[in-house]
Amino acid sequence: MTDAIEKGVIVAIIGGTVDRSGKFSPSVQVCKVIECGSSDLLVCDFPRKSFSRVFKVPKSICVPISISKDTVLSSKVLLPKIGDLVLSFGSRFSEEKDTVTGILFSITYSEGRPHKCKVLSGEAFIDSLYDELIVI
């Protein structure tokens, strides 16, 4: 996969933190390739900032990022409909936060848009914001 990397390509550079127990928490940085070496790349921050830096990274930790304009322009999130199996995640979602799954039971519209809804989870109705749902 690193063979497809050439000058001008946008790449995700994978890094991360290793803690004392050996657990690895990955992180990602997006950069643009300025020059290609045999094993390394010369990259700069993307998008460029007023204080962007140029630095070298090994090709082995870089993944090219590519998508067509047509795909971006035609992509839409799937809008939940009554009867769909949904997950309510809350706007302050984190991996530790409890989520709710269930059947979308009702939708309340406000200002011409779906706003609030009720999700049937088990035998209980849970109130949620429509924008905080994802179809499972």
pLDDT digits (tens, 9 = 90+) for 16-74: 999 999 999 999 999 999 999 999 999 999 998 888 889 999 999 999 999 999 999 99
Cβ–Cβ < 8 Å for 31, 45: yes
pLDDT, residue 97, reads 67
Q: Report how far residue 63's alpha carbon sits from residue 12's, in angstroms, rounded to the nearest whole number.
A: 5
Q: What does the alpha-carbon distance between residue 90 and residue 31 come to, in Å, rounded to a whole number?
A: 31
> CA–CA separation, 100 vs 134, rounded Å?
11
* Nearest C-alpha neighbor of 29 from the set 46, 17, 51: 46
- Each residue's pLDDT tens digit, 80-111: 999 999 999 876 655 656 789 999 999 999 99
